[in-house]
Amino acid sequence: MGTQKLSALLWEERELLELLVFKLEEEQLLLTSGKSRWLQHATREVEQVLDRLRAAALGRTVAVAALAQDWGTDEDATLRELVSAAPPGPWTEIFAGHLQAMTDLTIKIRELRDTNEQFLRAAARSAQETLAGLNSENGTYTASGSTAVSTAGARLVDQQL
């Protein structure tokens, strides 16, 4: 039956969205704690979940096309359109529940993505400022307006963040 298959695929997609929320929160914890050493692993895990989500979306598209024929809607109907076209019975409520849960998860993912992007931009800006401060050719000005001579000294850069 097409409805049961689609519902199972939507459950799988919801679980993947929840896993993506977890991975983005994990990435955020690494960013806020300064543990950038592990950031590449967290980013790779996010990308793996996104790949799995793309495959799940393809399966959902196929299942929607099959169910759309039974319900008399377009083959490329959205979940919202399927909820509207559903015959009277439990499937309207079931698909509406999937739609609401997936909408909520998508909003949470967008918020986490935006926050993580802000943290990454701040980290990049901080690294650029640190590297700019290491350049000995950049001088500062004295009270009289002349360039202050910088003394060449040892500098320590901690690369283990």
Based on its alpha-carbon atoms, the radius of gyration of the chain, rounded to whole angstroms, reads 26
Highest mean pLDDT among 37-46, 61-70, 84-93, 99-108: 99-108
Where is pLDDT greater, at 144 or 93?
Answer: 93
The class of domain 2-131 in CATH terms is: mainly alpha
In this structure, are residues 6 and 60 in contact, taking their beta carbons and an 8 Å threshold? yes
pLDDT for residue 124: 82
For residues 135-140, give the mean pLDDT: 58
Asked if residue 102 has pLDDT above 60, the reply is yes
**Every domain of the chain and the residues it spans:** 2-131
What confidence tier does 151 reach under pLDDT thresholds 50, 70, 90? low
Report which of 10, 93, 111 is spatially closest to residue 53, judged by C-alpha positions.
10
Q: State the residue for tokens 């910088």.
A: 150
Which range is least confidently modeled, 43-47, 67-71, 123-127? 123-127
Asked if residue 161 has pLDDT above 60, the reply is no
CA separation for the pair 115, 109 (Å, rounded): 10
Which range is least confidently modeled, 7-11, 46-50, 96-100, 119-123? 119-123
CA separation for the pair 17, 53 (Å, rounded): 8
In this structure, are residues 17 and 10 in contact, taking their beta carbons and an 8 Å threshold? no
In this structure, are residues 21 and 101 in contact, taking their beta carbons and an 8 Å threshold? no
What confidence tier does 5 reach under pLDDT thresholds 50, 70, 90? very high
Helical H runs in 72-139? Answer: 79-85, 90-134
pLDDT for residue 26: 95
pLDDT for residue 118: 93
Cα dihedral sign, 115-118-120-122: negative
pTM for the full model?
A: 0.77
